[in-house]
């Protein structure tokens, strides 16, 4: 499994600041965009709801989960 580079910095008020590597936020941002694209847009003209897109969405999510599984190995 991968590792995340982070460091904790003690502050004057007995609390700690957690600082992550810069690329982590970019990775999370891009991953969220990929996952968001699996959800269908609602088209009021075609009168279709989310149940209509269920199979298509599940197929896309399976591809993403396979990608993430391959990424961590």
Q: What is the pLDDT of residues 6-34, one digit of tens each?
A: 888 999 998 998 888 878 888 888 888 88
- Examine the pLDDT at 53 and tell me if it is beyond 80: no
Name 35's Cβ contacts closer than 8 Å, sequence gap at least 6: 61, 64
What is the model's pLDDT at position 1? 47
Distance between CA 73 and CA 65 in Å, rounded?
Answer: 13
Report the chain's mean pLDDT, rounded to a whole number: 77
> Token pair for residue 11?
């502050």
- Domain range list for the chain: 6-72
Q: What is the pTM of this model?
A: 0.44
């Amino acid at each position: 499994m991968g590792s995340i580079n982070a460091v904790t910095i003690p502050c004057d008020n007995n609390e700690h600041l957690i600082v992550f590597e810069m690329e982590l936020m970019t990775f999370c941002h891009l991953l969220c965009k990929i996952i968001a694209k699996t959800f269908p847009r609602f088209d009021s003209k075609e009168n279709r709801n989310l149940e209509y897109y269920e199979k298509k969405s599940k197929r896309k999510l399976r591809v993403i989960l396979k990608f993430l599984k391959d990424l961590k190995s």
